[in-house]
Amino acid sequence: MKSPITTHVLDITCGVPVSGMEVVLENYTASGEWRELARRMTDADGRVNNLLPGPDAPAAGIYRLVFLTGAHFRSKALEGFYPFVQIPFELKDPSKHYHVPLLISPFGYSTYRGS
């Protein structure tokens, strides 16, 4: 079963998926704090399809993906500007699939709501 929240990471400097990058999924609690829900690594295709592998749909609310990008750039002997990237997003309809990709380079990044 595919997670209702998925992601993938592409390094647009060299046009390849980023494997082995740590990704953290968090949700914003009613008390105003971030709570970690899952911590996974991107696969050989730069994807994380098992962030929330359980049968239950996530609750509506605010979530955040944190990508630990610094280690990736160091492994390529590149000096990156962003040691990590945080992408907050609002999950309004728990019955839908939310795909949040990250496109990275040493000095910039971009994201969008994928399918």
Topology at the third CATH level for domain 5-111: Immunoglobulin-like (2.60.40)
Q: What is the pLDDT of residues 47-104, one digit of tens each?
A: 999 898 777 778 999 999 999 999 999 998 999 999 999 999 999 998 899 999 999 9
The domain segmentation of the chain, as residue ranges, is 5-111
Task: Look at the block and give the residue holding tokens 């998925």.
Answer: 6
The whole-angstrom separation of Cα 71 and Cα 91 is 29
Alpha helix positions (H), the chain: 70-75
Q: What is the pLDDT of residues 10-46, one digit of tens each?
A: 999 999 999 999 999 999 999 999 999 999 999 999 9
